[in-house]
Chains A and B, each alone.
Chain A
Amino acid sequence: MFHKYLLRSPLRELGSRAVLLFCLLLCGCGGSGLQEYVFTGTAGYPQPSRQISGTVFYQSLLPLSELRPDQSAVAPAVLDFANPVSRPCRFVRVQLLDRNGEILEESHTGGQGTFSFSIPHQPGEMKIRVWAETVELEGESAPIKVVDNTRGGAPYAADSDWLDEQATEVTINFPTGYTLDGVQPEGAIRSSGPFACLDGILTGYRFFLEGGLDPAGMPVCVVNWSEKNRPSSGEKSDGAIDTSHFSSEENQLFILGFAAADTDEFDWHVMIHEFGHWIQFNRFRDNNIGGTHGFGEIKEPRLAFSEGFGNALGGLALQDPIYKDTSTPTGSSHTMECNLSVVDPNPGWFSEATVEAILFDLFDPVRAEGGDSNFADDLALSPSIFIAALEAQRESSALTTIFSFLHGMVQIEITPGELASLQALLAFSSPNSDFGLNSLNAFGEGETHDAGLPGVLPLYLDVTTDIDAGPFSVTLGPAEDETYNWLESGRFLRFTGDSSTVTVRALNSGSTVGSIGIILYQAGVQVEDDGDATEDENQDPFEDDIATIATRPGVIYVVSLLNLADQPSTTDIVITR
């Protein structure tokens, strides 16, 4: 089960043989101090060994909410400081060190936190070093490590006490650092924090491993956690990380740890949500444009999908439908079971709450919410279908929305009965003609719910025949207070390539407010040479925005237009070859 290797030097080998001889002499004289031997099979005679086994635990705090899965409400969520729970440190790297700090053997724990070392006997004290780092084991574990962004990205580890020659079994425990009433005494270190982060992310990762995902070729998932990581703007190296988040720039996770305000190492729904962004970025695809968001908001569908996906993944991996996010003194919780919950007054393909509820209901146990609800929760699809849908979404020319996910899922392995249940779920999530969703096409073709907003459908306006046909006008809603990600602030265009170089130009100079941003996607992947897809304070808002791409025949291109001005903008768009 464990992969072991010995670091031997000739001198140590000589020492081992001398010890062996000494032991044999002792035994011959009736000595009883050394009784354990292993047979190497090659030498043909017994060698004395030193065996140490043990278990590694960390103390965890459970987030509590009184909400029931069938209860459509928002309720407080708090950490249960009074009842810490021991959890095994699963699949973490462990080392056996001598007094000189030399590594004698390296291994890893199993799923129950147990490990075992067996080395040729040598005298002196030793200790076990446990790293906040998991190893890759097929179907069980993937490489994750927890580091401290406030100390130069240094990795976390912990040492046991020194173990003398009589030690055979050791239990290592990492305490929370809190008292039972939730106080962190002066000088107390929250040792369990990095290991809780590690185990939480591993729980999210294991949902994919159990579905058959092979992490080969993926980078180590690096999680930055510190007791200084606080909800503040500033330098990440100083702990000012704003909030728990995935940074695509660094391709790393940053998790809050500031107990006086908000700490997330035990809020696994939150951590797995962020891991969801990481795995979308590293294995699948995420066209999310970011920005602030919240339940009940009518957002552009890439953001709605990515956020709803992260929440649903947390619930599915934890098998816990109550999304809990604690903070100091109280956080909040909501259920993901309710297809139409009070937190989703505007359901549809543009709602993160709708995406969350649909994805969760597709893959959680049938009618797991209990109670006397009549939710349309008749499907319990496997994680492998979840993965296959994400892979199909990655390969789609459409952007990452709930449409491309559902289209990918329908394309693969679901039965006609499952398709009927899916359509029933969508119908249940569509309370009227404005709010809901009904399309299973990757580009949302045939969708009829427009959130009551004129001009948002069709979701992708096919402009292939508009190329070289003169300007056409688009009207976009305002982007005030970072609301550039609202549905009405953006528009998708699509066209099919033909080997020509195509230029998309937003004639901001003819607009009353200017500031249309353009992003070009080729087969769903953002094109790198669209320098005008960003706006900065130094740019004249009335300067025309231009994006150019050398097209390939038959490939579908998507243009994302975003209004970056704080007023509605009607701007002419010209697409030329």
Chain B
Amino acid sequence: MLTLLLFLSVPVPAKDRLPVKMSCTASFLSIRFLGDVKDVRLTIKGTGSVTGASSRHSVGTAVSGQEVQIPLNYSLGAGPGGIAVHLQGDLGYGTVGQARTFDLVSRSLDVRSRDWFEETPPMIVLPSQTIVNKRNQK
């Protein structure tokens, strides 16, 4: 049974998405196809402290209900990190892409709570480039 909260609490994306559900463990990326997709290609890259995860895969044609598991190989560094997955496939009218990220190393909640308290600033000051004209300078 679905766990469902009506009232628009479910995000309604503005993005054309492939009919897939992706999930990830420390060892595998799983993709379940909810519709038929041709010419499925997959790119995996490490983010943050995760290195060595880059890989490309060609799944070919996937049919509705099919599940694909991709083994993950990577090295962990210090700090948070994960993988960015870019999946693309042909839905019959053209190739549509979809990006998804998964955290493989995240900061523990207690550390994050402490950081949160200490780091939250009243504002975030961004760097800028300034060009100044002065009197008698033309």
Which A residues are within 8 Å of any B CB, using their own CB? 35, 73-76, 130, 148, 151-152, 154-161, 163-164, 166-175, 189, 191, 194, 230-232, 234, 237-238, 240, 242-249, 258, 260-262, 269-270, 273-274, 277, 281, 286, 288-296, 303, 306-307, 310-311, 325, 327-332, 334, 341-343, 345, 479, 481-482, 484, 515, 517, 519, 526, 533-537, 541, 562, 564-566
Contacts and interface: CB of A to CB of B under 8 A. Distances in A.
Contact of A328 (B9, B84, B116, B137): B84
Interface in B42-73: 43, 45, 47
A73 B122 CA distance: 47
A248 B9 contact: yes
8 contacts: A35-B135, A155-B123, A189-B127, A230-B84, A261-B85, A261-B100, A288-B8, A526-B7
The winner among B5, B15, B123, B125 for most chain A CB atoms within 10 A is: B15
B75 interface: no
Given A189-B127, A564-B2, 5 more contacts: A74-B16, A159-B125, A194-B126, A245-B11, A273-B14
Contacts of A306: 12
Interface in B103-124: 103, 106, 112, 116, 119-124
Contacts of A310: 14
Contacts of B99: 231, 261-262, 327-328
A247 B11 contact: yes
B120 A151 contact: yes
Given A270-B14, A482-B2, A170 B133 contact: yes
Contact of A260 (B88, B101, B112, B133): B101
A75 B88 CA distance: 12
What size tier do the contact residues of chain B reach? 35 or more
Contact of B102 (A167, A232, A248): A232
Given A273-B14, A291-B10, A484-B4, A331 B95 contact: no
A534 B4 contact: yes
3 smallest CB-CB distances across A and B, nearest first, come from: A74-B94, A290-B10, A245-B11
A285 to B, nearest CB: 11
Contact of A75 (B6, B19, B94, B122): B94
Contacts of B135: 35, 166, 168
B96 interface: yes
B101 A230 contact: yes
A439 to B, nearest CB: 25
Given A74-B96, A174-B126, A536-B3, A325 B103 contact: no
A236 to B, nearest CB: 11
B12 A294 contact: no
Contact of B124 (A151, A331, A343, A479): A151
A307 B16 CA distance: 11
A54 to B, nearest CB: 9
Nearest to A327: B99
B129 A172 contact: yes
Nearest to A161: B130
Nearest to B8: A248
A237 B106 CA distance: 13
B94 A343 contact: yes
A319 B1 CA distance: 43
A432 B131 CA distance: 62
Given A170-B132, A535-B2, A294 B17 contact: yes
Interface string B81-99: 0101110100111111111
Nearest to A166: B134
A327 B119 CA distance: 30
A161 B132 contact: yes
B93 A307 contact: no
Contacts of B43: 329
Contacts of B45: 260
A535 B17 contact: no
A320 to B, nearest CB: 15
B97 A517 contact: no
Contact of A245 (B12, B106, B112): B12
B13 interface: yes
Given A152-B116, A191-B128, A533-B6, A294 B19 contact: yes
B125 A163 contact: no
B76 interface: no
